Amino acid sequence: MLGCKSDNGRFKVAVLVLLVLCALICAGTFFSKLDGNISNKYNIAAAKKQYNNKSINILLLGIDEVQNINSKNNKTKNNDTIIVVKYDGIKQWVTATSVPTDMLLKGSVKYEKISSLYTENGEKSSKDAVEKLIEQPIDYVVKIDYAALKKLVDSIGGIQVDVDRDMKYDDNAKNIHISLKKGKNVQLDGEKTVQFFRWQKNNNGIGEKIDYDMRIVNQQKVLQAIISKCRAQKVLDKMPNIIDEMHKCISTDMPADKLMAYCLKVLDLKNTSVRFLTLNGTPIDYNDQFYLKYDEDGNSNIIAAMKGDAPIEVLDIKRADLKIKVLNGSRINGLAASVARKLKAKGYKQIEISNTKLTKETSIEVKDDKIKYIIATDSKIANVNNDLKNNKDYAGNDAVIILGQDYKASESK
């Protein structure tokens, strides 16, 4: 079990926030009620101001400590969950970005999963690899083990979820046993919740492959159930005891005061200012093993938003939903079709091409500012304005690309 030696009361509150970050953000009533109980003991206002307008990246590592039954002293710590929490102090938003544990290391020629780094080389190795993926530094690392989830669920009296299928998995070497029956509103205690949360496949003689999609859905169900339960007053009344138990399962290099300050800042944000994301990858099978290859194009918006290069609203935009018109004003045959093909390769589905009058300068007109970053980045055209909303000739389009005589020269650079 991960041990956190600090007995600082503020730290205990903060680590609980981190563990159920998603739940606490969505359940705003939780801390609005709890706030009155802790404000008399801690100077919350001072904590919030201490790191005002400063941005930070926190790496959350879910650690699964497995006991090898063949050796009393042989314990393996597996990195089962990787999440980057980004708080932008200037723009006042948060992203919690999940990194699939089967993601290949960026830039590596080896078939090595990012989750294997912690087991083999420790925390710093995991941190370095994640920094390469998100193209920015990690400020602090928080490690949480499954015991924290188990303790939380037991402390709130269990949860109810829909189990969509029978789950049966046994690994005697690692002492992992999962046994759940399909059903509606199944009552789960802490141990059963951990089984439901970590299930990937069955191994009861039918040779199933890992069901990654269902695992994500199951984890979301657990989160939603915790949110619902934590809103109950009888749970709030037990919160001091819950916090005392929870902090024992968490370890971090982040100072307690700073941890508390940022957690409280996050809790002040509106739901619309918090986004939960997952880095995209292309599935690869190699030597009967499943991997995900990092998708540069698919993750460009996420990385840009995390770095502050793009507004967070770009994360709401789906390229396939955008209606794009490409007009050829260059008199170069096939140029509009060529640009359309490149955009389709990036995920755009609704593209119309046509000719227009001879135009010297290439430009893009967009319906609103949210589209500016995406269309400029994908088309590599810097001259973008939002005049489209006033142009009745192109009503119904989200963006109009006008290819001028200068386009070929700029494209060849």
Question: Does 145 share its domain with 78?
Answer: yes
Give the residue from 314, 331, 355 where a domain finishes: 314
Q: How far apart are CA 404 and CA 360, in angstroms?
A: 5
Looking at the domain assignment, is residue 48 inside a domain?
A: yes
- List, as own/partner pairs, every contact residues 45-54 make where C-beta atoms lie below 8 angstroms and the sequence separation is at least 24, other chains included: 47/10, 47/257, 47/260, 47/261, 47/264, 48/261, 48/264, 48/265, 48/268, 50/257, 50/258, 50/261, 51/89, 51/258, 51/261, 51/262, 51/265, 52/89, 53/89, 53/90, 54/89
Top pLDDT among 183 and 71 is at: 183
Give the residue from 287, 314, 341 where a domain finishes: 314
Looking at the domain assignment, is residue 2 inside a domain?
A: no
3-state secondary structure of 311: coil
Question: Does 306 share its domain with 358?
Answer: no
Nearest CA to 323 out of 397, 378, 269 is that of 397
Question: Does 310 share its domain with 330?
Answer: no
Question: Does 262 share its domain with 186?
Answer: yes
Nearest CA to 5 out of 248, 176, 348 is that of 248
CA torsion angle 255 235 98 194 (round to 10): 110
> What residues pair up with 376 in beta bridges, in sequence order?
none
One-letter identity of residue 397: N
Looking at the domain assignment, is residue 352 inside a domain?
A: yes
- What single-letter DSSP state applies at residue 247? G
By the 8 A CB rule, do 192 and 180 touch? yes
Question: Does 53 share its domain with 175?
Answer: yes
Which one of 99-113, 295-309, 339-353 scores highest in mean pLDDT?
Answer: 339-353
Nearest CA to 87 out of 327, 314, 258, 234 is that of 258
Question: Does 287 share its domain with 337?
Answer: no
By the 8 A CB rule, do 95 and 306 touch? yes
Write out pLDDT tens, residues 17-39: 445 443 333 333 334 334 444 44
Looking at the domain assignment, is residue 199 inside a domain?
A: yes
Q: Are strands 93-98 and 323-328 parallel, antiparallel or unpaired?
A: unpaired
Structure tokens at 64: 């699964």
Looking at the domain assignment, is residue 1 inside a domain?
A: no
pLDDT recorded at residue 402: 95
Helices (H), ranges, 51-122: 116-121
Top pLDDT among 243 and 97 is at: 97
pLDDT recorded at residue 48: 60
pLDDT recorded at residue 400: 95
CATH number, residue 122: 3.40.630.190
Give the residue from 257, 279, 314 where a domain finishes: 314
Write out pLDDT tens, residues 361-374: 999 999 888 888 88
Question: Does 300 share its domain with 325?
Answer: no
Q: How far apart are CA 139 and CA 130, in angstroms?
A: 12
Range of the domain at 182: 9-314
Question: Does 217 share its domain with 352?
Answer: no
Q: How far apart are CA 44 and CA 47, in angstroms?
A: 5
Question: Does 268 share its domain with 359?
Answer: no
Question: Does 192 share its domain with 259?
Answer: yes
Answer whether residue 98 shows pLDDT above 70: yes
Nearest CA to 18 out of 302, 209, 261, 201 is that of 261
Question: Nearest 5°: phi and psi at 9?
Answer: -60, -35
pLDDT classification of 76: cutoffs 50, 70, 90: low
Average pLDDT of the chain to the nearest whole number:
78
By the 8 A CB rule, do 84 and 97 touch? yes
Q: How far apart are CA 149 and CA 222, in angstroms?
A: 10
pLDDT recorded at residue 14: 39
Structure tokens at 261: 């300050």
Structure tokens at 375: 């269309």
Question: Does 323 share its domain with 302?
Answer: no
CATH number, residue 372: 3.30.70.2390
Question: Does 330 share its domain with 303?
Answer: no
For Cα atoms 396, 296, 273, give the angle at the middle one, nearest 5 degrees.
60
Looking at the domain assignment, is residue 369 inside a domain?
A: yes
Least confident among 118-122, 232-236, 363-367, 400-404: 232-236
Least confident among 133-147, 159-173, 274-288, 291-305: 274-288
For 173-194, give the DSSP string: TTTEEEEE--EEEEEE-HHHHH
**Number of domains making up the chain:** 2
Which residues, other chains included, contact 321 with Cβ-Cβ below 8 Å and sequence gap of 6+?
350
User: How far, CA to CA in Å, does 141 sit from each of 114, 253, 275, 385?
Assistant: 16, 6, 20, 41
Question: Nearest 5°: phi and psi at 151?
Answer: -65, -40
